[in-house]
Every structure is written in C-alpha cells, then in structure tokens.
Amino acid sequence: AIPIIVFWALLAVVTNTFVPKIEDVAQELAGPMVPTYAPSQVAMLTIGKEFHESTSTSLTMLVLEADRGLTEQDRDYYAGLVRTLKADSTHVQYVMDTWGKPITAAGAQSLDGKSAYVLLRLAGDIGQMEANNSVNAVRHIVDTSNPPAGLKVYVSGAAPLAADTVLIANSSLNNITIATMFLIIFMLLLVYRSVVTMLVPFFGVILLMLSVKGVISAFGHYGVIPLSSFATNMVISLTLGAGTDYGIFLIGRYHEARLAGQSREDAYYTAYKGVSHVIVGSG
C-alpha cells in the first residue's frame, strides 16, 4: 500500500509543480463557447465571409446613452471612437457604423434620441482566449476615450458576456473547491463521528483531486486534450464526489468484515472485492 500512496503523492506533487495551473491552461486553451458547426454559428461565419466583415463569431455592441439626449458633441466623440476601433485591426475586424451615416442613423438611435449603438465584430470565436482579449481591448479603448459630460458608453453583447462568464468560472473554481471540502469534512464527521477515521478518506480525496488537476492540466498544456473552464469545473466536482463516495464504500465494507471477525488483512481484501466492481462500473 505504501508504494501506491507514494506514487500518487509524487504524481500530484510533480504535475502541480512543473505544469501550469489548470485554471490558466483552461483559460488559455478555451475553445468556442458555441461550436462553429452549430447552424447559428455557420450562418454568422457565412455572413462575415460573404460580406467581407469578419472571420469569427464574436459580436459586441457599444451602447451610447445620455439622459439629456445625444448632441453633436456626442456624435463627434462617436466618430473619434469609431476611428480608434477601426485602427485596432488586431482585435476589431469590423465596425458597423450606422449611426455615423445620415441615411442609417435613425435605425441605430432610440426614438427619444437618448441612446444609440454600434455593432462590432471582434477577432476570435466567442469564448476563446483571442475573443476575450479582443473584448478587453475594446473595453480599454472605451475606458480611455474620455466621453463628453453626461454621456455613458457601455460594452455589451454576446462576446463580453462570454468573456465575463469564463472569467467568473475560472476565479470561482478555488472558492467552490474549498466550500466543497468543508462540506465533505462535515459529511464524513456525521458518518464516522471520529476525526481520525474521517481523515483517512479525506486524505484520499485530497490526493485524488490534486492528481486529477495536475494530470488534466498536463494533458491540456501539451495538447493531448482540449480544455474549457466548464469542463474543468465539472471534472473537479465529479472527482471530489466520486472520491468521497468510493472512500465511504471501502471503509464501510472494511468495518463490516472486521465486525464479522476477520483479520485486518482479510477485511481489506473483502472490502476490495466487494466494492471494486462498483467502482469500475460507475467509473
């Protein structure tokens, strides 16, 4: 048993020491949030290709809003903002400048004259690292654009929403893991009513989680498998749940065998034989 424990401990230490964190790998290698073969995405890519607008699926809306009503000064600011966005060809592939043209301006402005919008198509498919970087670049341009007094500019749309979702998913992973750990400790204490007994399966769960995070991070980092924040969260949750359940099963069968008068070694093999097929079948 000791060589097995040492092996898994070394695996956890090595993969978590010499491989980037799984959160960073998942963010770096994030694929499109919606597959590019989905009908909606195929249509969007086709439109972008046929109209020479964009090669990606990232849509962003800039909304200009002023309670006092939009003025000529706001239009001048808007024109400068559009020029700056078009100049950033690395992140912005297309700007649908409808408010800046007299013939289409009415269609991009609210009836009360207090708001207007402009559509952007950004580099990178929605949810990808490239798309998230493009969203951040647009936000930086807006934040440093110095709009006139009374005018507010918002960055909205599918691409910013996806970027925020990925950011929150990555930042909340550690918090979710810690909260789950406390729940596992509480549950194990309720089951065993012994701190020492509780530590046996809990140590196994911790070792399993670290090993899984390290191995998955290594596979993703070296291009063996694709990763995403949602898949990472799901795998960690399944690992914690399965590790806890299997530990309870094994210890329960071991206690039953000991109560039946078996020796420690015989009880170990009895527990293993009684639970191994359940673990293999559910895995």
pLDDT (0 to 100) of residue 177:
84
pLDDT less than 50: residues of the chain: none
Domain range for 209: 2-29+194-282
Task: Say if residue 62 is in the same domain as residue 99.
Answer: yes
Q: Does residue 171 lie in a domain region? A: no
Task: Say if residue 227 is in the same domain as residue 146.
Answer: no
State pLDDT tens for residues 201-253. Answer: 899 899 999 999 999 999 988 888 877 777 788 888 888 888 888 888 889 99
Task: Say if residue 23 is in the same domain as residue 87.
Answer: no
Q: Are residues 119 and 96 in contact, defined by beta-carbon separation less than 8 angstroms?
A: yes
Which helix (H) or strand (E) segment holds residue 222: the answer is none
CATH code for the domain in which residue 145 is found = 3.30.70.1440
- Could you give the strand order of the β-sheet that contains 152-156, starting from the edge strand earlier in sequence? 92-96, 115-122, 58-65, 152-156
Q: Does residue 179 lie in a domain region? A: no
pTM, two decimals, is 0.74
Task: State the total domains in the chain.
Answer: 2
Task: Name 231's bridge partners.
Answer: none
Q: Does residue 188 lie in a domain region? A: no
Task: Say if residue 52 is in the same domain as residue 119.
Answer: yes
Q: Does residue 174 lie in a domain region? A: no
Task: Say if residue 146 is in the same domain as residue 202.
Answer: no
Burial class (CB in 10 A: 0-12, 13-18, 19+), 154: middle
pLDDT (0 to 100) of residue 34:
83
Q: Does residue 177 lie in a domain region? A: no
Q: What are the start-end ranges of the H helices in 96-194?
A: 129-143, 158-192
Q: Does residue 76 lie in a domain region? A: yes
- C-alpha 254/C-alpha 248 separation (Å) is 10
Task: Say if residue 52 is in the same domain as residue 141.
Answer: yes
Task: Say if residue 18 is in the same domain as residue 67.
Answer: no
Last residue of a domain, one of 144, 163, 182: 163
Task: Say if residue 20 is in the same domain as residue 48.
Answer: no
Task: Say if residue 149 is in the same domain as residue 264.
Answer: no
At residue 246, what is the residue type?
Y
Task: Say if residue 146 is in the same domain as residue 218.
Answer: no
